[in-house]
Amino acid sequence: MHERQLPWLPWRWGKPPYEIAVAVVILQHASVASAAPVYERFLQRCPKVEALAAADPAHVRALVGPLGLPARTERLMRLALTVMHKHDRRLPEAEAALRTLPGIGQYGAATIPCPAGGRSAD
C-alpha cells in the first residue's frame, strides 16, 4: 500500500485552534486555491481572536471580500466576539459546543484540535 502525500495547506498541521477556525469559515464556498492567499493575508492583519473581535467590519470585509459570500464577514466577526465574551477567549473544548459557534458546523468542529487543557484561541 502506498502512502498518500497530502498537499501543503497553510491551515494544516500544528496550527492554533483560532487559525483553524478562521480557515473553516474562509473555506466555506471557496476553492482552496483562492482561499489560501486570503487566509494568509487575513492572519497577518488579525493574528489573534482579540484582533478580529476589535477589527472594523469594513476592514474584515475588505480582507475576505474577494472570495464572495458576504455572510463570511459576519460569521468571522460573530465567531470572534462569541469566543471573547462567552468563552473567555478560548474556543470551547467540546465538539458539540464548537458546533454552536458562528460559522463552525459539524465538519469544522471536528477539525479544530483540542490540546490538553482546552482549546486556547491562540
Global confidence as pTM: 0.82
pLDDT digits (tens, 9 = 90+) for 44-85: 999 999 999 999 999 999 999 989 888 999 999 999 999 999
Q: Tell me: pLDDT of 118 over 50.
A: no
What are the structural domain ranges in the chain?
A: 17-114
**103 phi and psi angles, rounded to 5 deg:** 85, -5
pLDDT digits (tens, 9 = 90+) for 17-38: 899 899 999 999 998 889 999 9
Read off the amino acid at residue 14: G
Q: For residues 95 and 68, give the distance between their C-alpha atoms in angstroms, rounded to a whole number.
A: 28
Q: For residues 38 and 44, give the distance between their C-alpha atoms in angstroms, rounded to a whole number.
A: 10
Bin 6: left if φ > 0, else alpha if -120 < ψ < 50, else beta: beta
CATH code of the domain occupying 17-114: 1.10.340.30
